[in-house]
């Protein structure tokens, strides 16, 4: 059967209406020394040292930027351990024993409205750089680099679409802290001297519409923008097209068209950085899937182990069954082999499923993957070229355009993990 798939199963109606449980006192927090964007990292502390919340304890080194590492609780640095990271790999984490005092580093200081009103774009850039703010929707791209654009920005878009199934972390953030969202947008508008901002949500989110259409009546320049209910509506290119009518050319930066966009969690990170001069030390996440008893939303300290949260969802539904763990959404997230993984700044959710043995069938050339691909690739052809290890053909099929949305695998009638082949093709294409 040929099927174009952009409408994926809605699995979040109930979870989105559950207020987040505050779990901010784990016994230990774990902070990665490296990550997917920074292959190297240095520490400024040694075992046994006391650290304060928000203290700068190290620096990660990326290809063209550095990323400060901050403690997310106060306590003692007790060692380095390996755990699974959001990128699906085992990496070294700093382990801090929480003293439950939450004494803040002296760098954390509240700015007055008068001080904030005087901040220039360069000041904002410096603040987000020092606070290590990154794209919290999962991209982990350094936010200060976006702030460095020399283009004239006339529209700010806030991405609160959260288009993958299951995840409701941004949804709860928006409902529970609307003024932080609005103030964060106002700071971004000040930084870019921009008069217009849109908060983009799916049109089916009635609760968000109700809250924000009331609150925004009093706010100049910020409007709600209800976009489509399909996937991948949250992809930057698709969101910009729906919100402004502008179709970006392949590889074109939004700033080229006077647009800059931020995930809604990032904008709340901006609020905290500007108002209190603190990095992201807590975040909203969802824990869900058919492998646990009670799916819930949480607000946790960054660095919390998923293992600590499993008892709070009443454990695994079928403890004897093998589980599949996914950090992030089911379409774009990374699978990890166990619950020994850590909530870093960019982890939006952990999905736990009982493992079902779904057997892949041979490709029936139905074309569903081709019809579903939002960037107009031919996934089945790429897969065949990868199987044949035909590098020339792979390059011609342009797999580097792939945004890894997962729709080709989702729509495949034969349950083939087509996206995995496209990832392999990307590696081939870069050789």
Q: How far is the CB of 349 from ligand SF4 (least distance, A)?
A: 19
Report the residue from 122, 387, 404, 427 that binds ligand SF4 according to the rule CB under 6 A.
Answer: 404
What count of residues does the chain have? 431
Q: Does 373 bind ligand SF4 (CB under 6 A)?
A: yes
Q: Does 375 bind ligand SF4 (CB under 6 A)?
A: yes
**What CA–CA distances, in Å, run from 379 to 166, 230, 290, 403?**
25, 20, 29, 12
> Look-up: residue for tokens 């300290």?
301
Q: How far is the CB of 166 from ligand SF4 (least distance, A)?
A: 18
* Exposure b/e, 271-309, CB count within 10 A at least 16 = b: bbbbbebbbbbbbbbbbbbebbeebbbbbbbbbbbbebb
Number of residues that bind ligand SF4 (CB under 6 A): 29
Instruction: Give me the residues paired with residue 94 across strands.
Output: 31, 80
Comparison of 275 and 424: residue with beta carbon closer to ligand SF4: 424
Q: Does 372 bind ligand SF4 (CB under 6 A)?
A: yes
Report the residue from 14, 39, 80, 364 that binds ligand SF4 according to the rule CB under 6 A.
Answer: 364
Report the residue from 62, 178, 221, 367 that binds ligand SF4 according to the rule CB under 6 A.
Answer: 367
Q: How far is the CB of 421 from ligand SF4 (least distance, A)?
A: 9
3-state secondary structure of 419: helix
Q: Does 138 bind ligand SF4 (CB under 6 A)?
A: no
Q: How far apart are CA 384 and CA 422, in angstroms?
A: 10
Comparison of 304 and 368: residue with beta carbon closer to ligand SF4: 368
List Cβ<8 Å contacts ≥24 apart for 45-49: 45/77, 45/94, 46/77, 47/77, 47/78, 47/79, 48/76, 48/77, 48/78, 49/76, 49/77
> Within 376-395, which residues bind ligand SF4 (CB under 6 A)?
377, 379-380
Indicate the burial class of 40 (C-beta count within 10 angstroms; 0-12, 13-18, 19 or more): exposed
Q: Does 286 bind ligand SF4 (CB under 6 A)?
A: no
Report the residue from 5, 123, 366, 398 that binds ligand SF4 according to the rule CB under 6 A.
Answer: 366
Q: How far apart are CA 246 and CA 179, in angstroms?
A: 29
Q: How far is the CB of 8 from ligand SF4 (least distance, A)?
A: 12
Q: How far apart are CA 173 and CA 175, in angstroms?
A: 6
Comparison of 159 and 305: residue with beta carbon closer to ligand SF4: 159
What are the structure tokens assigned to 211, written together? 């809250």
Q: Does 371 bind ligand SF4 (CB under 6 A)?
A: no
Stretch that binds ligand SF4, among 93-101, 114-122, 125-133, 370-378 (CB under 6 A): 370-378
Report the residue from 284, 412, 428, 429 that binds ligand SF4 according to the rule CB under 6 A.
Answer: 412
* Binding footprint of ligand SF4 on the chain (CB under 6 A): 363-369, 372-375, 377, 379-380, 402-408, 411-414, 416, 418-419, 422
């Amino acid at each position: 059967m040929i099927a174009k798939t952009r409408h994926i199963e809605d699995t979040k109606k109930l979870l989105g209406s559950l207020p987040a449980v505050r779990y901010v006192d784990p016994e230990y927090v774990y902070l990665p020394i490296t990550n997917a964007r920074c292959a190297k990292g240095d520490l400024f502390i040694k075992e046994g040292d006391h650290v304060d919340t928000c203290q700068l304890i190290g620096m990660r080194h990326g290809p063209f930027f550095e990323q400060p590492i901050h403690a997310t609780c106060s306590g003692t640095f007790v060692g380095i351990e390996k755990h699974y990271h959001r990128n699906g790999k085992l990496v070294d984490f700093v382990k801090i024993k929480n003293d439950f005092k939450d004494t803040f580093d002296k760098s954390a200081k509240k700015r007055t409205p008068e001080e904030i009103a005087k901040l220039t774009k360069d000041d904002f850039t410096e603040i987000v750089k020092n606070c290590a703010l990154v794209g919290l929707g999962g991209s982990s791209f350094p936010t200060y680099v976006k702030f460095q654009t020399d283009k004239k920005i006339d529209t700010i878009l806030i991405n609160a679409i959260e288009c993958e199934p299951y995840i409701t972390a941004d949804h709860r953030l928006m409902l529970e802290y609307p003024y932080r969202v609005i103030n964060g947008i106002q700071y971004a508008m000040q930084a870019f001297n921009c008069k217009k901002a849109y908060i983009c949500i799916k049109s089916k989110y009635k609760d968000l519409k109700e809250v924000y259409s009331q609150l925004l009546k009093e706010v100049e320049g910020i409007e709600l923008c209800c976009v489509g209910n399909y996937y991948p509506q949250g992809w930057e290119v698709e969101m910009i097209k729906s919100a402004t009518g502008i179709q970006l050319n392949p590889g074109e930066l939004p700033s080229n068209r006077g647009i800059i966009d931020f995930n809604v969690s990032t904008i709340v990170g901006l609020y905290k950085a500007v108002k209190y001069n603190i990095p992201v030390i807590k975040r909203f996440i969802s824990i869900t899937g058919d492998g646990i008893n009670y799916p819930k939303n949480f607000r946790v300290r960054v660095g919390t182990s998923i293992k600590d949260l499993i008892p709070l969802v009443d454990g695994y539904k079928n403890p004897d069954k093998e589980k599949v763990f996914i950090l992030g959404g089911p379409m774009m997230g990374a699978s990890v082999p166990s619950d020994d993984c850590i909530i870093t700044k960019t982890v939006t959710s952990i999905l736990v499923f009982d493992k079902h043995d779904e057997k892949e069938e041979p490709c029936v050339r139905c074309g569903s993957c081709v019809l579903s691909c939002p960037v107009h690739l031919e996934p089945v052809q790429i897969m065949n070229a990868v199987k044949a290890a035909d590098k020339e053909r792979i390059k011609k099929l342009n797999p580097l355009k792939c945004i890894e949305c997962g729709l080709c695998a989702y729509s495949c009638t034969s349950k083939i993990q087509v996206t995995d082949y496209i990832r392999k093709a990307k590696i081939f294409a870069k050789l």
